[in-house]
Amino acid sequence: MSTIEETKTSLNYVEIAGESLLELLEGASTHASKDKGLRALNAVQIEGAGGDLIARATDRYRLIEGAVRYSDGSLEASLVSLEDIKRTITLVKAHKAHLINLTRIGDALTVSALGDSVTFTLVDANYPPTAHLFAQFDNPSPSDIGAIDIVSFNPSFFADYAKIVGKGAPVTITFISKNKPMLIGLRGDKVEWRALLMPMRII
């Protein structure tokens, strides 16, 4: 005989504090592509395992990944359109003091709290692999490390970093070498963030 707890977990069920989920989704959504023609990138990928709910997004020029602790369950990697992320944020804002449930059944994800809910169909697209992009900063090879004289980047992107961590919070930048992504260090309130920014070509 299965217990209620076992049934929740088997259905891809995660329970998380509203404030934590709100910070995670608002931050990650800033880096999703606004181009609806890029279905895999006009979305946020979320997954939960081992007590961490992770959200990642990229517009090809930037990549962000946030992780926040949650209390119960697990959730396989799910690709949620940016439009549906915005609907979810609206619901979570109304319940940020409460626990939020995310339940996936097949290709449908339901986000609910205290009787309010939104259900949507997940994006059927292959999300690009990203782990290797962050891994290059863990143990950079000596051949990758070199002198850097000028780095060019789009300053408007830093406005999004301010939205994530606040205008007064520091943002660190780690360089490896020319034409390599820059590692952006962000300190969130409840979310552990890491981000990458691609250098712009100087014409």
CATH code, domain carrying 18: 3.10.150.10
Residue 202 is assigned to a structural domain of this protein: no
Residue 51 is assigned to a structural domain of this protein: yes
**SS3 state at 83:** helix
Assess whether 34 and 91 both reside in one domain: yes
Is a pLDDT exceeding 50 seen at residue 8?
no
Assess whether 117 and 32 both reside in one domain: yes
pLDDT in tens, 178-198: 777 889 999 888 999 999 998
Assess whether 18 and 111 both reside in one domain: yes
- Lowest mean pLDDT, pick from 27-36, 100-109, 127-136: 127-136
Assess whether 108 and 142 both reside in one domain: no
**SS3 state at 84:** helix
Q: Which pLDDT value is given to residue 148?
A: 64
Q: Which pLDDT value is given to residue 6?
A: 41
Assess whether 33 and 96 both reside in one domain: yes
| Contact between residue 78 and residue 116 where contact means Cβ atoms under 8 Å apart | no
Q: Given the structure tokens 């920014």, which residue do they identify?
A: 197
Confidence of residue 7 (pLDDT cuts 50, 70, 90): very low
Assess whether 40 and 98 both reside in one domain: yes
Structural domain of 162: 131-197
The number of angstroms, rounded, from the C-alpha of 28 to the middle of its chain's C-alpha atoms is 4
Number of domains composing the chain: 2
User: End of a domain among 95, 121, 147?
Assistant: 121
User: Quick one: average pLDDT of 162-189?
Assistant: 84
Instruction: Tell me which DSSP letter residue 139 carries.
Output: S
Assess whether 158 and 110 both reside in one domain: no
Instruction: Tell me which DSSP letter residue 177 carries.
Output: S
Is a pLDDT exceeding 60 seen at residue 147?
no
pTM: predicted TM-score of the whole model, two decimal places: 0.87
